[in-house]
A and B are shown apart, each in its own frame.
Chain A
Amino acid sequence: MLRSCAARLRTLWALCRPPVGRRLPGSVPRPELRSFSSEEVILKDCSVPNPSWNKDLRLLFDQFMKKCEDGSWKRLPSYKRTPTERIQDFKTRFLDPKLMKEEQMSQAQLFTRSFDDGLGFEYVMFYNDIEKRMVCLFQGGPYLEGPPGFIHGGAIATMIDSTVGMCAMMAGGIVMTANLNINYKRPIPLCSVVMINSQLDEVEGRKFFVSCNVQSVDEKTLYSEATSLFIKLNPAKSLT
């Protein structure tokens, strides 16, 4: 299953200052971003502080931005939607054109960015290419409730999936989730901040094994652990 594929495509394209001499295998060469006014709304980077971010999240954000100064860590931008031309590119490469529905495209939004500030998923991801680590700082808002006062298990699954998926994609280009295995240790209180630490464990041909843990800001509480398997897509084979 494609994991936030569109989000990753956007991120790859939008990463400024391409790494010297290196392009991820299978990725599309970064075209120039033209800013039409409607595109500006779509291309607003959501992974930066806004008024709904609480103190913990801002503190962690600042700590990780410091780590970016020497180039070992990179902050990943994150957008609500894919610009139309990128969608066309994805469809051409991987999908059977006869089966795509046009009408739905105009309304679509990336699931994790379908909320107003502070109500749903507030998050930012940082990547360390040497260690193959993706860290996601995540604050879950009141529209993500499960048991009263706690975040829904499915919302946690969504963020874990987005994080490990992004980690796999940095290493493998366009990938699809095959397996996701989550152990919940403690419920996460609503509106608190957690760190999702993910790590690329192994690569076997087209298989990418990624694991992660979800911890409190002070790293003293372990909320959940997960393992996952991603498969690199074969552009010669249609997905539909």
Chain B
Amino acid sequence: MIRRCFQVAARLGHHRGLLEAPRILPRLNPASAFGSSTDSKFSRFLPEKTDLKDYALPNASWCSDMLSLYQEFLEKTKSSGWIKLPSFKSNRDHIQGLKLPSGLAVSSDKGDCRIFTRCIQVEGQGFEYVIFFQPTQKKSVCLFQPGPYLEGPPGFAHGGSLAAMMDETFSKTAFLAGEGLFTLSLNIRFKNLIPVGSLVVMDVEVDKIEDQKLYMSCIAHSRDQQTVYAKSSGVFLQLQLEEESPQ
């Protein structure tokens, strides 16, 4: 156990940049990525009963492509192990009772914080999206419809909004597939412009998990697969959240 801690510390030393207090040894137990604590991770992330508003649900702004593809994936949640991820206004709502490892956690008296991809709450104006996750295959699909407040070139989505959606999908996938917490790198190859209001389908896969890092890839395309909007790869750092100390 002690030797394991030192091994972890040595590896963490390589990520000194992200962990400003190298003396801190987060409890990294590879076995927890699978097995019983996965259930607890899911149950915290996907609360059965909550008052929190789930933004990843159809509304009047969703185009017909998005609605029908959403229905298709809802069927898959019943038949082939897919899970629809809820999407709350803040990431803090997704990890209730947990916090970032000490040394990284910052005091949060910032008032009203929002997760970036839910920054614009007027229906249809900003990010409209829903993520489905398949835990066994370690795959995700994100249905994304950019609104007019995400504009870059006239009539088209800002590339930063696609980058943000890719980073967010990678982030949730990494968290559920292997306790990924922070983006280490993002590499995006843009191919085609995305018209505002159209549907983007993003297929995400975990390619490998090694050395405390999750490697993922993504292809963003139109529903009929005829247009590829962009391809990307992302690497995330594995880090365990800690229990919040009881008040």
Contact = CB atoms under 8 A, between A and B. Distances in A.
Contacts of A186: 17-18, 20
A90 interface: yes
Interface in B144-161: 148-161
Nearest to B232: A180
Interface stretch (A19-27, A42-50, A109-117): A109-117
Interface in A149-181: 149-155, 157-159, 161-162, 176-181
Contacts of B163: 154, 157-158, 161, 180
Contacts of B33: none
Interface in B59-96: 90-92, 95
A178 B189 contact: yes
Nearest to A102: B155
B167 A1 contact: no
B159 A161 contact: yes
Contacts of A161: 159-160, 163
Interface residues of B, number: 65
Contacts, number: 209
B140 to A, nearest CB: 15
Q: Please indicate which of the listed interface residues B20, B119, B120, B197 has the most CB atoms of chain A within 10 Å of its own CB.
A: B119
A31 B192 CA distance: 30
Interface residues of A, number: 64
B160 A162 contact: yes
B66 to A, nearest CB: 16
Nearest to A178: B190
B113 interface: yes
A161 to B, nearest CB: 5
Interface stretch (A51-59, A71-79, A187-195, A201-209): A187-195
Interface in B121-170: 125-126, 148-168
Interface of A: 1-7, 82, 87, 90-91, 95, 99-101, 104-105, 107-112, 114-115, 119-120, 142-155, 157-159, 161-162, 176-187, 189-191, 222, 239-240
Given A108-B154, A146-B171, A157-B167, 20 more contacts: A1-B193, A107-B125, A110-B158, A112-B158, A112-B160, A115-B119, A142-B114, A147-B91, A148-B113, A152-B167, A153-B171, A154-B168, A157-B188, A158-B160, A158-B164, A180-B163, A181-B188, A183-B185, A184-B183, A185-B18
Q: Top 10 A-B pairs ranked by shortest CB distance?
A: A154-B164, A158-B160, A1-B190, A152-B116, A149-B106, A2-B153, A153-B183, A111-B158, A157-B163, A5-B153
28 contacts: A2-B156, A87-B154, A105-B155, A108-B196, A109-B148, A111-B152, A111-B161, A114-B149, A142-B111, A146-B171, A148-B106, A148-B108, A151-B116, A153-B171, A153-B182, A154-B167, A157-B163, A158-B158, A177-B190, A178-B190, A180-B187, A180-B190, A182-B186, A182-B187, A184-B186, A185-B18, A186-B18, A190-B110
